Amino acid sequence: MTEGAIERLEATVHGVVQGVGFRWFTVQRATRLGLTGWAANESDGSVRVLAEGTGPALDELLAALSEGPVGAQVARIDHRRLPATGGFTTFGIRSAGHRGD
């Protein structure tokens, strides 16, 4: 992708990531980075994150997700990059098990 091009990051964070403020942590970091999208708890105990923005900002978010907030223990992150849809205006929290945009 070209510098400044908008991309999409889809990530699932595994480990001790629910009940520790992980979604709020993600919202704060993503908002600070100028990203749009959402974070949601999954029924298997993971947190799913969908973010859109520039590649460097997505790289920073991914690095933050690997650390998480105090109390989190990130075991692994499954992720992929895709073309952005541009369908978001903010970054928020979605209800558990949310599917799609």
Q: What positions carry a catalytic annotation?
A: 23, 41
Instruction: Strands of the chain (E only): list them.
Output: 6-16, 36-41, 47-54, 73-83, 91-93
Residue 26: closest CA among 40, 7, 46: 40
How many other CB atoms are found less than 10 A from the CB of residue 77? 18
Element spanning 50, H or E: strand 47-54
Report CA torsion sign: 27, 29, 32, 36. Answer: negative
